[in-house]
């Protein structure tokens, strides 16, 4: 072959090869483009960026409070990204959590949700630590979470990270079955981002819903600041048994400031404030009257990285959270949370060492001061300050590039108890290119709440003690072994099954059988739980994604004792499953999403209320369906129009508590301005 022809062949070969392959590929989409044309929409960005599975899954700080790859993290976790959040139709964080495997959500009324993870959480949802940008917002009184006090609008959430399983080695008390971290949105790069939005909606009973929210975020050369605010009125889904279920009114603001103090160090300040009025209905208050709650949170931290060859990171932090509940006791026939105040203040330090290229060590300590003041706490225990302390260490070792071992332990002297709690975590993760396998064992504990330890509920009419705490309660513990797999059979499909066995010991039960004295006790019988979770995400195209979530529970030893307790096994559905589709059209001018989430029937009996009474619950299987669409008007005036329709089927209360209201169907119109 002549030399010039050989040169010509070499020059032409790549183009011919590309065209040949394009031609082959085009056979799959015969109508998409003319012969020889390549539409960029048919090419996936992930493929062009050659993102491996670990890059696609990203990094997280929720599992170990240190940045690590999700693929090799020592615990099962799920992440909802901003796009998935935006196209999920969800209006509240609990609605978002319905799409996480292993999570069950039920709604007592507007703004009143209980979130349960891995079969526990019962009627008060206090087995999960919830953080905003890493700062816990659980109530110091009983570790419950007021989801209406989360001060962030869902569209101002960059990411939700859910760690499933016991995580006390990192978070201390109450990370019993997991941690939920809400990461708020910031500006991209060095820029300023502003957004404002309004929403108006209604349900079939003409209950009104309205919301206003806004965001200002700016990243400068050496500082980042963001302020997010939201306010909402939700009068939807008040129908059902009691049509006088109060609406919810809430307002909240979150601000974050971070200033670089050196080449690799920064100082951060976080402030949160939130106030809400909504129904009082919960497992102790069986009436649905207006109740006001407020949260005030401030945190400061200083962090430095790469301090020396050995000292990889160091952080000191301080935070303080005040929580307040107020209501008009004259509205109640029974117990209410009127006049409840609590505060938790903590200081902590965390240091990371790189002992060798494959060996890392993190040590830390935290001291906590709790203060609770409530009329239903024994006066001898009330209005006092209770200190607590914890210290932890985690060793990470990668003897080979693909093998990662973790061993961690934490010792705590929790506040208000005379006990010493030990928790541990060990994991082995093997990582390949397109899959990783995780075997992990961990323990966690839940400190009995101030109600369970020091409560004294007195009937205002008779002066008799209806329910009393027990200061000698043991902390319930959760020991779990789990096997998890992350696999990408094709680059755009992620499948993440997890199977686990948990042993729950010292579950606190409300021993209301004796009339002589009603108190809390530890169940002497351990409860074993076998569970499975499956998460699958398929990014079929850049503009089309499908997601599936499945969680299943099976209690291995039946509850022989008929004493209904707060955490009875059948309080959670045996099966919770969901599927959703999200995508964009017309080059991202239009966004859409639709899907449904199913929770199987729950039949159980439980004692609730003060004075306690037995509630026989038969909660039918529930399906929550949604459809949403949004339209971007244009860059000259960056406005977004959206319509969300959410429906709960059947139109019946999904909460076992009396006076809970049904969800019904709601349609919401939204208008947003700014870079979304």
Partner 1 sequence: MRMSVLIALALALGLAHGSHARADVSPKHALLLAKALSYERRLAERKGSSVGIAILYAADNAASKASAQSWLKAFAALGALKVHGVPVEVVTIPFQRERVAELVRARGIDVLLTCEGSPYAMVAALAREHRILSVADTRAGVDNNLSLAVFVHREKPLILINVRAAKAEGAVFSAKLLQLATLL
Partner 2 sequence: MASASSGTLGFVTASMLTLLGCNVAIENPPAYDAERDLCAAKGAKEWDALLESCREEFEADGGCAGLISFTGQLENEALTVDSELGINEFFDRVTVDGVEIRQQIKLHGRSPYFVFAFEFRGLGGELSDEDQQRSLSFGSGTGDFESLDDELVRGALRMTVGGETKAFAPRRGNLTIAHQAQDEQSATFEADFGTAGDHLTGCFHAFAPKRIITRDTAADAGL
Binding site for partner 1 (CB under 8 A): 10, 13-15, 17-19, 21-22, 24-26, 28-29, 33-34, 36-51, 81-83, 187-191, 490-492, 540, 542, 587-589, 632, 634-636, 638, 675-676
Least distance (Å) from partner 1 to the CB of residue 186? 11
Long-range contacts of 517-524 (CB under 8 A, 24+ apart): 517/465, 517/468, 518/465, 518/466, 518/467, 518/468, 518/611, 518/612, 519/467, 519/468, 519/469, 519/470, 520/448, 520/452, 520/469, 520/470, 520/473, 521/470, 521/473, 522/473, 522/474, 522/476, 523/561, 523/565
| 30 binds, options partner 1, partner 2, none, Cβ within 5 to 8 A by partner type | none
Q: Does 298 bind partner 2 (CB under 8 A)?
A: no
* Residue entry with tokens 């506040």: 415
Q: Which stretch binds partner 2 (CB under 8 A): 62-70, 212-220, 398-406, 460-468?
A: 460-468
Give the count of residues interacting with partner 2 (CB under 8 A).
46
Q: Which stretch binds partner 2 (CB under 8 A): 446-454, 531-539, 583-591, 661-669?
A: 446-454
Q: Does 459 bind partner 2 (CB under 8 A)?
A: yes
Are 536 and 489 in contact, with CB atoms under 8 Å apart?
no
How far, in Å, CA of 543 to CA of 346, rounded? 45
Q: Does 614 bind partner 2 (CB under 8 A)?
A: no
Choosing from 37, 55, 513, 616, the residue that interacts with partner 2 (CB under 8 A) is 513
Choosing from 30, 189, 357, 514, the residue that interacts with partner 2 (CB under 8 A) is 514
Choosing from 121, 178, 214, 469, the residue that interacts with partner 2 (CB under 8 A) is 469
Choosing from 378, 474, 492, 600, the residue that interacts with partner 2 (CB under 8 A) is 378
Choosing from 516, 562, 634, 635, the residue that interacts with partner 2 (CB under 8 A) is 516
Reduced to 3 states (helix: H, G, I; strand: E, B; else coil), residue 653 is: coil
How far, in Å, CA of 160 to CA of 163, rounded? 10
| 491 binds, options partner 1, partner 2, none, Cβ within 5 to 8 A by partner type | partner 1
Reduced to 3 states (helix: H, G, I; strand: E, B; else coil), residue 68 is: strand
Q: Does 373 bind partner 2 (CB under 8 A)?
A: yes
How far, in Å, CA of 456 to CA of 468, rounded? 4
How far, in Å, CA of 314 to CA of 332, rounded? 50
Least distance (Å) from partner 2 to the CB of residue 304? 24
Q: Does 365 bind partner 2 (CB under 8 A)?
A: no
Least distance (Å) from partner 1 to the CB of residue 307? 24
Least distance (Å) from partner 2 to the CB of residue 520? 11
Q: Which stretch binds partner 2 (CB under 8 A): 416-424, 427-435, 483-491, 622-630?
A: 416-424
Q: Does 375 bind partner 2 (CB under 8 A)?
A: yes
- The most distant pair of C-alpha atoms in the chain lies apart, rounded to whole Å, by 110
Least distance (Å) from partner 2 to the CB of residue 350? 18
Cα distances (angstroms) measured from residue 228 to each of 185, 212, 254: 9, 11, 5
Least distance (Å) from partner 1 to the CB of residue 200? 25
| 417 binds, options partner 2, partner 1, none, Cβ within 5 to 8 A by partner type | partner 2
Reduced to 3 states (helix: H, G, I; strand: E, B; else coil), residue 45 is: helix
How far, in Å, CA of 150 to CA of 274, rounded? 7
37 versus 306: smaller Cβ distance to partner 1: 37
Cα distances (angstroms) measured from residue 327 to each of 290, 330, 455, 474, 504: 7, 9, 19, 32, 35
- DSSP lists the bridge partners of residue 501 as 481, 530
How far, in Å, CA of 285 to CA of 612, rounded? 10
Least distance (Å) from partner 1 to the CB of residue 360? 22
Cα four-point dihedral sign 218, 226, 633, 79: positive
- C-alpha closest to that of 440 among 458, 428, 424: 428
Are 605 and 616 in contact, with CB atoms under 8 Å apart?
yes
Q: Does 55 bind partner 2 (CB under 8 A)?
A: no
Q: Which stretch binds partner 2 (CB under 8 A): 126-134, 335-343, 393-401, 483-491?
A: 335-343
CB atoms within 10 A of CB 262: 11
Q: Does 390 bind partner 2 (CB under 8 A)?
A: no
Least distance (Å) from partner 2 to the CB of residue 603? 25
The count of residues in the chain is: 676
How far, in Å, CA of 565 to CA of 359, rounded? 45
Reduced to 3 states (helix: H, G, I; strand: E, B; else coil), residue 624 is: strand
Are 414 and 475 in contact, with CB atoms under 8 Å apart?
yes
Q: Does 385 bind partner 2 (CB under 8 A)?
A: yes
Least distance (Å) from partner 2 to the CB of residue 376? 11
Q: Which stretch binds partner 2 (CB under 8 A): 164-172, 386-394, 435-443, 659-667?
A: 386-394
Q: Which stretch binds partner 2 (CB under 8 A): 223-231, 455-463, 582-590, 665-673?
A: 455-463
Least distance (Å) from partner 1 to the CB of residue 358? 21
Q: Which residues bind to partner 2, rule: CB under 8 A?
A: 339, 341, 343, 367, 369, 371, 373, 375, 378, 380-381, 383-389, 413, 415-418, 450, 453-456, 459, 462, 464-466, 468-471, 513-519, 611-612
């Amino acid at each position: 072959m002549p030399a010039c022809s050989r040169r010509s062949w070499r020059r032409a070969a790549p183009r011919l090869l590309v065209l040949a392959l394009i031609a082959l590929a085009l056979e799959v989409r015969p109508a998409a483009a003319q012969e020889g044309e390549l539409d960029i929409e048919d090419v996936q960005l992930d493929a062009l960026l050659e993102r491996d599975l670990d890059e696609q899954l990203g990094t997280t700080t929720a599992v170990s409070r240190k940045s690590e790859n999700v693929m090799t993290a020592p615990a099962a976790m799920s992440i909802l990204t901003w796009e998935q959040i935006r196209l999920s139709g969800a209006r509240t964080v609990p609605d978002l959590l319905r799409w996480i495997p292993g999570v069950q959500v039920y709604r007592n009324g507007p703004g009143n949700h209980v979130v349960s993870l891995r079969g526990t959480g019962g009627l008060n949802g206090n087995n999960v630590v919830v953080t905003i940008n890493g700062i816990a917002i659980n109530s110091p009184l009983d570790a419950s979470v007021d989801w209406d006090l989360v001060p962030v609008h869902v569209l101002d959430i960059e990411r939700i990270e859910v760690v499933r399983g016991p995580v006390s080695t990192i978070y201390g008390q109450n990370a019993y079955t997991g941690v939920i971290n809400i990461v708020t949105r910031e500006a991209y790069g060095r820029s300023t981002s502003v957004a404002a939005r309004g929403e108006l909606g209604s349900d079939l009973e003409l209950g009104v819903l309205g919301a206003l929210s806004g965001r200002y975020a700016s990243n400068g050369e050496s500082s980042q600041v963001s302020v997010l605010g939201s306010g909402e009125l939700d009068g939807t889904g008040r129908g059902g048994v009691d049509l006088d279920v109060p609406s919810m009114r809430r307002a909240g603001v979150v601000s974050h400031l971070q200033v670089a103090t050196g080449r690799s160090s920064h100082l951060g300040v976080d402030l949160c404030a939130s106030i809400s009025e909504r129904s009082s209905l919960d497992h102790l208050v069986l009436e649905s009257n207006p109740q006001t709650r407020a949260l005030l949170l401030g945190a400061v931290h200083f962090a430095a990285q790469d301090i020396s060859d050995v000292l990889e990171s160091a952080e000191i932090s301080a935070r303080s959270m005040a929580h307040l509940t107020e209501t008009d006791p004259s509205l109640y026939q029974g117990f209410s949370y009127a006049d409840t105040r609590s505060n938790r203040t903590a200081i902590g330090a965390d240091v990371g060492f790189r002992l060798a290229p494959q060996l890392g060590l993190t040590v830390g300590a935290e001291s906590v001061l709790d203060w609770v003041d409530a009329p239903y706490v024994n006066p001898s225990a009330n209005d006092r300050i209770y200190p607590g302390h914890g210290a932890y260490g985690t060793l990470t070792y990668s003897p080979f590039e693909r093998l990662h071992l973790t061993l961690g332990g934490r010792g705590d002297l929790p506040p208000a108890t005379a006990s010493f709690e030990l928790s541990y975590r060990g994991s082995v993760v093997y990582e390949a290119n397109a899959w990783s396998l995780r075997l992990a064992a961990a323990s966690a504990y839940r400190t009995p709440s101030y109600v369970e330890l020091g409560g004294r509920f007195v009937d205002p009419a008779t002066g008799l003690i209806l329910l009393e705490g027990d200061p000698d309660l043991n902390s319930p513990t959760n020991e779990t072994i789990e096997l998890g797999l992350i696999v990408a059979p094709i680059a755009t499909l992620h499948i993440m099954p997890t199977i686990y066995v948990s042993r729950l010991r010292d579950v606190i039960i409300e021993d209301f059988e004796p009339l002589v004295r009603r108190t809390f006790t530890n169940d002497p019988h351990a409860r074993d739980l076998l569970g499975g979770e499956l998460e699958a995400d398929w990014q079929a195209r850049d503009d089309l994604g499908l997601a599936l979530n499945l969680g299943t529970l099976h209690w291995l030893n039946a509850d022989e004792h008929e004493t209904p307790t707060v955490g009875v096994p059948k309080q959670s559905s045996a099966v919770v499953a969901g599927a959703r589709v999200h995508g964009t059209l017309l080059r991202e001018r239009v966004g859409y999403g639709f899907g449904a989430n199913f929770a199987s029937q729950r039949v159980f009996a439980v004692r609730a209320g003060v004075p306690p009474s037995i509630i026989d619950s038969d909660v039918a299987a529930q399906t929550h369906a949604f459809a949403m669409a949004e339209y971007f008007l244009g860059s000259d005036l960056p406005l977004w129009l959206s319509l969300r329709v959410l429906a709960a089927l059947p139109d019946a209360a999904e909460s076992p508590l009396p006076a809970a209201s049904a969800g019904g169907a709601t349609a919401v119109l939204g208008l947003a301005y700014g870079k979304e």
